[in-house]
Amino acid sequence: MMKKLSGVALCLALWLVPGLAMAQSATITGTVTDDQGEPLIGAQVAIQAMTLGSVTDINGQYSFEVPAARVNGQPAVLEVRYIGFQTASRQITLTPGTQIQDFELVPDLLGLDEVIVTGVAVGTPTKKLGFSISKVSGEALEEVPAPDPASALRGKVAGVSIIQASGDPSQAASIRLRGSTTINGSQEPLIIIDGVITDGSLRDINMEDVESIEVVKGAAAASLYGSLAGNGVIQIRTKRGAQGVAGPQVKVRSEFGFSQISREYPLATKHPWVVDELTIRLPDGSTQDFTFTGNESPSELEAAFASIPEGSKILSWTGRSQGAVDPDRRFENPFPVLYDNIDAVFTGQPFNSNYVSVGSATEQFNYLASFENYGQGGVLDPVDPYQRNTFRLNADYTPSERFGVKFSGSYINVDSPSFEEQGQGDNYFYSVLTMDPYMDLTEKNEDGTYSNKPTGYEVQASNWQNPLYVAEQREFSFQRDRLLTGFEASFAPTNWFSLHGRQSLDKSYVQLQTYYPKGYETPTPNSTVNDGFDSRQSRTYSTAISELWAQFNQSFSQFNLTAIAKYLYEDRQYETFSASGSRYFAKGVRDIGGLDPETRNIDSYTAREKAENYFLNVDLDYAEKYILSGLIRRDGSSSFGADERWQTYYRGSIAYRLTEDFSIPNVQEMKLRLSYGTSGQRPPFSAQYETYSVGSSGISPGILGNRNLKPSRVAELEAGLNLGFLNRFSFEANYAVTNVENDYLLVPLPAVAGFSAQWRNVGEIKSTALEFALSGPAISRSDFSWDYGLTFSRVTQEVTDLGGIPPFTRAAGGAIPLFRFEAGLPYGTMYGNEVLTSLDDLTLDADGNVLNAGIDTNGDGRLTRDDYEINQHGYVVPKGTHGTPDEQVVYRVDENGEKMVVSIGNTQPDFTLGFSSNLNYKGIGLYFLVDWVQGGEVYNYTKQLLYFNDRHKDLQDFAAQGFDYGYANGSSQIYNGADASSYFVEDASFIKLRELSLSYTLGRKQLGSALGNYVDRVKISVIGRNLLTFTDYTGWDPEVALRTNATNFRLDEYAYPNYRTFTGAIELRF
């Protein structure tokens, strides 16, 4: 029986074998190497038309299977992609069994196959773009990790203006892409992270997680984002699991170092005061009296003070307390004792960054999880450091060739102090620069706390406060918890049609607290804070966006067509709640309930904006050489006026790759392109509504509503050239003209209207941008390589219309009125009083009499040109007055003899240039980045105020040149009574060594058997950031501005100085 069964089974098996053979699958396998024969890890190998493929492993090998049902002897195109290499493809025949297909990839030195995902409806190779989009990735980001993505773009992308307005560690750099697009609003671009549209700070982004940054600079490319993208777009792509490598891949990186002030501030170490009666407290507690006639020379005073031991304090000084100027009126007398309080306050604080990530990928699942702890102490002691903790999880799951899902998520926790950087009061920087240097800021009270009024304070009797006391006693904290998530699903029922959806959320919860303890001291009595003050505020920001889109792809003959139809729904919510009060009943109590009920105040605010957007994008090319693209978008938003709820945006572009038709010696790629597009910027949510203020006298109208208020319209025409030559160099040139219309401004109304003002679409701006970029590997050998990048840009911008509004000068951020807005003037123009530098600029009446201030030096009873001369500083002054109180600069005046307010400067640079270099020799790497900004001006208001306070070093330099004490600090002198003066407009040109890194990398071979079996790579680096600055600017740093519109409002007023950082880093990969 068993034999019969065995025979039957054998016959059945023999009968089935042909069928099994006919249904056999096809296995495609092989190895992918570079042109040196080295295996490429993580190369993507696929038959795109069948959505089948694999990635190479650590040996460069790949393998994937084509199901038997799809194998029938047909031809198919097998394609290999790898970042930095040209895409390779070949036609194969799908037959049952195994076939070996090896590939040797050629470096893509020109970046033609690099895929861009920002500003386009679907990922597009750069060679098929009809407009300019810049991308920064790889070693340009990794060699010296920047504190935030904005800083990472410096010197690496043409047409991008980046200003680190403040050294405050919690503040990200400000960005402007090409020219300004608004007078009243922000210049900051739209930020997208892994496809998630965000509203938060770039300072929250951990650069260790960043794979690449794409920059969409103009409206032509930004049209895809409509009214969200009037200022351009920056998209950040974060890292995902390492494909093609067996098992989890682990990266651990630690960086430690310190920061310090990069240059000294020019403060005076001399003074003009009469030295008469002094009482000094010596370090041993005894006192010593000094009595002088007041006529001693500086050298005699130096000799007398030489016996005063270090650490002594001034108890009294009659001449200084009375503000009595020395009889010779020279700013040259020595201080009896001298303390370096700059060194006491600005101390090197620690920097640390600790990062770990683990990631892996299979054909179906990909993930990367990471954590970073980042701390930057800045340069202030004893201020708490900026601390950031970031958690990230990215995961992709593709269970079949037709369906896939993606998740990107991060949680950020920020804990940071905050600072006042303008004005006086609690401003650390005002106090440390203004106070006389005979006081010791490190002096402490008996209880060990810093003294608010150190010994000698009463001598100067000013309104400054000891910044160390403020830092120790006052609490001004900022905490943010932020969640960023994006979930995307895709379904492709056919090879030419797919459906996609994405849900994203950017939610932040912010807590702010300002706390003054009971007993807090101030220079003068302050009823708000002396008995304690507490202010607490919570803010919740939420941006939820839902997206649905369908994608159509088809190729026929040599035509390639891609079409995308998309719907996007936005839901933004903002809530704030605050409570504050004064006068604690008991010391040490930290509770709002412990405050005087009569001082308590509670407030709240809620706003919600909704928007719906639709767009259709069509891309068409013929043989990848004639390229057309068109887009139309409709935006509807609740932030638009009721009668202007829907707005339309559009784009058209054309490109021609000449080298596909013509052979040009040594030129591998030449593409001409032209594009035109529109985008916009939404007005503030409340701008469309009428507002009222409520007070003790009742309700009064404020802002008049506007049903016709709409977003600004930004239209751009861009022409460009892309050139690849000598098989290694890539060159790009762009020229763009941008016109802004319907910019929204707050227009004053006549009193009869009942309201003070109304938001209207009246502003117009025009800008031009010329950009060049050159990059490539100058040297590329197996043991030595040198890559470099060069960028150049020049931007001009002008206000062309204010819609009938009279020209106005803006006092941005509470500073002095300085920045002028007037049709026909460059954006960034500064207005103020002009100090004359030529006799030809004197104002004359019909009889030739000078109307400017002056002195009749020749005694003829009238002022003429002969009564003036040019002094050694190059300024017009009354003739023969050098060294006397009568020597004063002369200002431009009108026909009535009144000081004129005229253009005194412009903040816009002539050009910016960046140069990066990366050399590698047998594991030793040297990388640096140089940033050059030529032209543009900064108003040095700090210097002006220090002239008034007799603390700037210029004043003692003037004395050495023979000038009288009053030459600089009188209201009619250089100081100009704190009004804007051309004297304090300074050239802001600089050349900076932004980034420097010296590293050594050890691979498995160098690590040997002891470590090489466990560690793939070890990299040790020494890093410097912001190391050197070459400039003629006389303040801390020429890269300074108000936080409001920082790339245009370049004003220095007691700002937190920028600093340099020195660190060492070690990185391990397993």
Half-sphere exposure of 565 toward its Cβ, with a 13 Å CA cutoff? Answer: 5
| pLDDT of 460 higher than 90 | no
In a domain, 151, yes or no: yes
- Residue 1044 pairs with which residues in a beta bridge? none
| pLDDT of 699 higher than 90 | no
Number of domains in the chain: 3
Q: Say whether both 120 and 201 belong to one domain.
A: yes
Average pLDDT over all residues of the chain: 89
Q: Say whether both 62 and 144 belong to one domain.
A: no
| pLDDT of 392 higher than 90 | yes
Give the pLDDT confidence of 1015-1056 residue by residue, as tens digits: 888 999 999 999 999 999 999 999 999 878 889 999 999 989
End position of a domain, from candidates 242, 262, 290: 242
In a domain, 1007, yes or no: no
pLDDT at 881: 92
| pLDDT of 38 higher than 90 | no
Give the pLDDT confidence of 406-459 residue by residue, as tens digits: 999 999 999 998 877 777 777 888 989 999 999 999 999 999 999 999 999 989
- Residue 543 pairs with which residues in a beta bridge? 506, 572
Q: What is the mean pLDDT of residues 543-564?
A: 93
As a whole-number percent, the residues of the chain with pLDDT over 70 amount to 95
| pLDDT of 898 higher than 50 | yes
* pLDDT band at 8; cut points 50, 70, 90: very low
pLDDT at 16: 39
Give the pLDDT confidence of 111-125 residue by residue, as tens digits: 666 676 666 666 777
Q: Say whether both 120 and 143 belong to one domain.
A: yes
pLDDT at 243: 61
| pLDDT of 548 higher than 80 | yes
pLDDT at 794: 97
Residues 86 and 108 sit within 8 Å (Cβ to Cβ): yes
Residues 989 and 905 sit within 8 Å (Cβ to Cβ): no
In a domain, 746, yes or no: no
Look at the chain and count its residues.
1070
Higher pLDDT: 571 or 476? It is 571
In a domain, 850, yes or no: no
End position of a domain, from candidates 281, 314, 337: 337
Q: Where residue 134 sits, what CATH number does that domain have?
A: 2.170.130.10
pLDDT at 244: 53
Give the pLDDT confidence of 337-363 residue by residue, as tens digits: 999 999 888 988 999 999 999 998 887
pLDDT at 15: 39
DSSP codes, 785-840: EEEEEEEEEEEEEEEEE-TTPPPEEE-GGGS-S-EEE-TTSBTTEEEEB-B--SGG
pLDDT at 671: 94
Q: Say whether both 96 and 161 belong to one domain.
A: no
Structure tokens at 1007: 């690590």
Q: Say whether both 138 and 206 belong to one domain.
A: yes
In a domain, 185, yes or no: yes
In a domain, 1042, yes or no: no
Could you tell me how many helices (H) and strands (E) the chain has, helices first?
14, 56
Q: Say whether both 284 and 221 belong to one domain.
A: no
* pLDDT band at 673; cut points 50, 70, 90: very high
| pLDDT of 552 higher than 60 | yes
Q: Residue 155 is part of which domain span?
A: 115-242
pLDDT at 1042: 83
Q: What is the mean pLDDT of residues 561-577?
A: 95
Q: What is the mean pLDDT of residues 653-677?
A: 94
Q: Which residues contact 286 (CB under 8 A, 6 or more apart)?
A: none
3-state helix, strand, coil in the chain (%, to 5): 15, 45, 40
Q: Say whether both 190 and 143 belong to one domain.
A: yes
Q: Categorise residue 458: left if φ over 0, alpha if ψ from -120 to 50, beta otherwise.
A: alpha
Q: How far apart are CA 788 and CA 250, in angstroms?
A: 29
Q: Say whether both 52 and 147 belong to one domain.
A: no
* pLDDT band at 21; cut points 50, 70, 90: very low
pLDDT at 622: 93
Q: Say whether both 139 and 235 belong to one domain.
A: yes
pLDDT at 245: 59
Q: What is the mean pLDDT of residues 375-396?
A: 92
Amino acid code (one letter) for 916:
S
Residues 106 and 35 sit within 8 Å (Cβ to Cβ): yes
In a domain, 238, yes or no: yes
> Is the whole model's pTM more than 0.75, yes or no?
yes
Q: Which residues contact 598 (CB under 8 A, 6 or more apart)?
A: none
In a domain, 225, yes or no: yes
Among 627, 630, 602, which Cα is nearest to 615's? 630
Comparing 81-90, 229-238, 366-375, 730-739, the range with the smallest average pLDDT is 81-90
Distances (CA, A) of 883 to 102, 871, 975: 86, 11, 17
Q: Say whether both 73 and 154 belong to one domain.
A: no
- Three-state DSSP state, 303: helix
Structure tokens at 802: 């204010």
Q: How far apart are CA 194 and CA 185, in angstroms?
A: 26
- Residue 44 pairs with which residues in a beta bridge? 55, 81
pLDDT at 2: 41
Q: What is the mean pLDDT of residues 640-661?
A: 95
DSSP codes, 915-955: EEEEEEETTEEEEEEEEEEES-EEEEHHHHHHHHTT-BHHH
Distances (CA, A) of 244 to 42, 115, 240, 440, 854: 4, 20, 12, 63, 81
| pLDDT of 1 higher than 50 | no
Q: Say whether both 98 and 36 belong to one domain.
A: yes
Q: Residues 699-728, buried b or exposed e (16+ Cβ, 10 A)?
A: eeeebbbbeebbbbbbbbbbbbebbbbeeb
pLDDT at 219: 86
Q: Which residues contact 1008 (CB under 8 A, 6 or more apart)?
A: none
| Start-to-end Cα distance in the chain | 61
Q: What is the mean pLDDT of residues 265-291?
A: 94
pLDDT at 1033: 97
Q: What is the mean pLDDT of residues 172-187?
A: 91
Q: What are phi and psi of 957, to 5 degrees?
A: -70, -35
pLDDT at 113: 62
Q: Say whether both 65 and 171 belong to one domain.
A: no
pLDDT at 1012: 60
Q: What is the mean pLDDT of residues 117-141?
A: 78
